[in-house]
Amino acid sequence: MKKLFLSLLIFILLAFLSASVLLAQNRICANCGKTITKNFLEYNSQPYCSQKCFEAALPKCSVCGKSVGEGTKQGEFLKHNGKIFCSDKCFERSLPKCAACGKPAKKQIRSTDDASKAYCSQECYQTSLPKCELCQKSLNGWKEMAGHIYCNDCAALPKCLDCRLPGASIELPDGRHICQTCEKTAVISRDQAQRLFEQVRGDIEKHLGLTTDHRITFQLVDARELGRITGVTVFSEQGLYSHKWKTYQTAKTKVPDSDTFVIYILSHLTPKYFYNIAAHELAHDIHDALYPNAKGKELEEGFAEYISSLMNAYWGNDSLNLEKLHNQEKIYAQGYQKFLKIAEKNGLSDVLAYMEKQNQTSKSKAIKKKTK
Ligand SMILES: [Zn+2]
Ligand SMILES: [Zn+2]
Ligand SMILES: [Zn+2]
Ligand SMILES: [Zn+2]
Ligand SMILES: [Zn+2]
Ligand SMILES: [Zn+2]
């Protein structure tokens, strides 16, 4: 009996001890904070009281929001750029759409000029590249001409004498090339050219009040003829103004009324280029008549470019004036810019006053020279 009592006492003692141990080990749910008395789940060494609390602690798919790794202890998931995805499907949904085919762009190939666009493959990226206007090849690098783009090979093809674009397929007997588009309206017949020339002369008089009483002969020529007349093979002008006169052999003085005036303009120009050139050459004639003493290549070409630019604007062909600023023959571009500056405030009237001043100072210099 005594023995039984003792063992009972030991049992009670043990039971009490173990209860206090259990109590000391009581866990707190890492999610809801409740004391865990029964079974618990563990995740990242933290206890959770229920499936619900456990799931709340799991990482969430950044696309669908679902807890990742449901039912498993250490959730399995995809990680990409610090984001978590529950499945391939959700990962793909997170990708930008290929700008070409619309499929998720896993590779995300970016175009260099628009980084907001992504492409799924090299093939799709290729479709985004600009194409050569002539051969349709996709271009990684290209040459741009007047807003058109070409591959290097096509850019080197013969250029149209009018629009200056490469790939002009028609070769003229004088070696120049013209494209099929420009050829349709190109001024080829002498009659049409003569008519347009008269019209330009009339327009200049009407619009600018500038004219001369010179009897000008007009000639439509090809590049070979113009080269023969000027003796220059690489010629920056597409026309020529010529004023010749006879001189007495003995006295070396001018034969009165022996002047001849000829303006040559190249054939196959489209009307707007023809107008531009005709106005330029007629400006040389105006210069010659009104300011004969004002000399110098920059002054002469600058004045002619300025007058023709006013006429281009009048005809609605302003784009040609932009080309004048970029004339490869520097003296033309410089001269034109010089006159644009002179005209800054009062336009043509300041230009004519400037020309008159040049004419007077050159004249007085010439007289001084003679009297010395
Ligand atoms: Zn809990
Ligand atoms: Zn998901
Ligand atoms: Zn694609
Ligand atoms: Zn090409
Ligand atoms: Zn053309
Ligand atoms: Zn000129």
Ligand nearest to the CA of 298: 6
Q: What is the mean pLDDT of residues 325-354?
A: 94
Q: How far apart are CA 148 and CA 154, in angstroms?
A: 12
**How far is ligand 1, taken at its centre, from the CA of residue 28, in Å?**
8
What average pLDDT does the segment 95-101 reach?
89
Ligand 5 centroid distance, CA of 168 (Å): 7
Q: How far is the CA of 51 from the centre of ligand 1 (A)?
A: 8
- Cα of 175 to ligand 4 centre, how many Å? 23
Tell how far the Cα of 282 is from the centroid of ligand 6, in angstroms.
9
- Ligand 2 centre to CA of 101 (Å) is 24
The pLDDT, as a whole number, for residue 21 is: 39
Q: Between 127 and 344, whose confidence is greater? A: 344
pLDDT by residue (tens digit) across 154-164? 999 999 999 88
Mean pLDDT, to the nearest integer, of 139-156?
Answer: 86
d(CA 173, CA 83): 70
HSE at residue 20, side-chain half, CA atoms within 13 A, is 5
Report the range of poorest mean pLDDT among 126-130, 135-139, 141-145, 363-367. 363-367
CA of 314 from ligand 5 middle (Å) equals 23
Position 302 scores a pLDDT of 96
More confident residue, 223 or 201: 201
Return the ligand number nearest the Cα of 306. 6
Kindly tell me if the per-residue pLDDT of 103 is higher than 70: yes
3: confidence class by pLDDT, cuts 50, 70, 90: low
Band of residue 181 on the pLDDT scale cut at 50, 70, 90: very high
pLDDT at 112: 74
**Ligand 3 centroid from CA 132, angstroms:** 22
Using 50, 70 and 90 to split pLDDT, how confident is the model at 79?
A: confident
Quickly count: other Cβ atoms within 10 Å of residue 226's Cβ: 21
Token couple for 72? 């498993």
Distance 83 CA to ligand 4 centre (A): 44
Lowest mean pLDDT among 89-93, 186-190, 273-277, 319-323: 89-93
Q: Which ligand is nearest to the CA of 38?
A: 1
How does residue 283 score in pLDDT terms, banded at 50, 70 and 90? very high
Is pLDDT above 70 for 16? Answer: no
Question: For residue range 209-246, what is the model confidence (pLDDT) as tens digits?
Answer: 999 999 999 999 998 888 888 777 655 668 889 888 88
Residue 281 alpha carbon to ligand 5 centre in Å? 23
> Residues 6 or more apart from 86 whose CB is under 8 A from it?
61, 63, 64, 66, 68, 77, 78
- Ligand with an atom nearest the CA of residue 132: 4
| Cα 90 to ligand 2 centre (Å) | 5
Q: Separation of 159 CA from ligand 5 center, angstroms? A: 8
Which ligand has the minimum distance to the alpha carbon of residue 92?
2
What percent of the chain has pLDDT above 70? 87
Task: Among the bound ligands, name the one nearest to the CA of residue 89.
Answer: 2
At 278 the pLDDT is 96
**Rounded mean pLDDT of the chain?**
85
252 close to 344: Cβ distance less than 8 angstroms: no
What is the number of the ligand closest to the CA of 242?
A: 6
What confidence tier does 92 reach under pLDDT thresholds 50, 70, 90?
Answer: confident
Closest ligand (CA of 101): 3
Task: Render pLDDT for 33-47 as a digit per residue (tens, 0 to 9).
Answer: 888 888 888 887 888
**Would you place residue 314 in the very low, low, confident or very high pLDDT band (cuts 50, 70, 90)?**
very high
* pLDDT given for residue 287 in this prediction: 96
Pull the structure tokens for residue 1.
Answer: 């009996």
Are 58 and 68 in contact by the 8 Å Cβ rule? The answer is yes
pLDDT higher than threshold 60 for residue 74? no
Q: For residues 144 and 262, which has the higher predicted lDDT (pLDDT)?
A: 262
CA 125 to ligand 2 center in whole angstroms: 28
The predicted structure's pLDDT at residue 249: 80
> What is the reported pTM?
0.66
Ligand with an atom nearest the CA of residue 57: 1
3-state secondary structure of 186: coil
pLDDT surpassing 80 at residue 312: yes
Share of the chain above pLDDT 90, in %: 44
If you measure from the C-alpha of residue 281 to the centroid of ligand 6, how many angstroms do you get, rounded to a whole number?
A: 6
Question: Which of the ligands is closest to the CA of residue 163?
Answer: 5
What is the residue-wise DSSP string for 114-142? -TT-EESSHHHHHHHS-B-TTT--B-SS-
Give the number of whichever ligand sits closest to the CA of residue 131.
4
Q: If you measure from the C-alpha of residue 126 to the centroid of ligand 3, how many angstroms do you get, rounded to a whole number?
A: 10
